[in-house]
Chains A and B, each alone.
Chain A
């Protein structure tokens, strides 16, 4: 069973760049047809998809964050990363990395996050 673990600073100053890394173990990040994903959750609120990078390297971002987000894949290190620039207090949240799998059987395709990191709290404050 693949495992994911987030790491990075828990405190970031306003206007600076938030940087997180997700380390994947128990499976290769470059094998299979997976989307390596970042998701965040402000305290007391719902889940927000930030973006993902496919095993092949193609990338999609949430349109609301696209101008500030960069997701990268480091296959030799079995890691992928998130950079979010020009942060404000509104970016304070628990950040999760997750693996998105998909299958095309039955009437419709299905996309599902089958593995999650434990989450890491990032606070934006001076």
Chain B
């Protein structure tokens, strides 16, 4: 099916590690991309490809993939990491683009 599924909400204690997951058939053919969105702002690219971070993204953000599941891991979560996170990939059967429904991360 042409969709990406994310948990709606995840929480993590300050300084701990959290994993945000994304599932979909397209992830068997394309890497997931991850975006962080703060309230009132445009999404920000944080992870793309196998595990690539754009310039300026802290190395506590990392990505991985296995089968139909991609994960974004934040190692040592900070207060400023509290945001919505979206996964994205190309559709497996067309050139359309897919977004997950988003995960709201709360840092306790």
Instruction: Name A residues whose Cβ lies closer than 8 Å to a Cβ of B.
Output: 37, 46-49, 52, 60, 62-63, 96, 100, 102-103, 105-114, 116-119
Contact = CB atoms under 8 A, between A and B. Distances in A.
A118 B90 CA distance: 23
Interface of B: 29-31, 33, 35, 42-45, 48-50, 52, 54, 86, 88-90, 94-102
Interface centre among A48, A62, A102, A111 (most CB of B within 10 A): A111
Contacts, number: 74
A13 to B, nearest CB: 26
Nearest to B52: A110
A110 B31 contact: yes
Contacts of B102: 46-47
SS class, residues of chain B in contact with chain A: strand
10 contacts: A46-B101, A47-B88, A49-B97, A60-B94, A96-B42, A106-B31, A106-B49, A107-B31, A109-B90, A110-B52
Contact of B42 (A100, A107, A110, A118): A118
B31 A49 contact: no
Contacts of A119: 42
SS class, residues of chain A in contact with chain B: strand
Nearest to B44: A116
B103 to A, nearest CB: 10
B42 A60 contact: no
Contacts of B98: 49
A47 B86 CA distance: 8
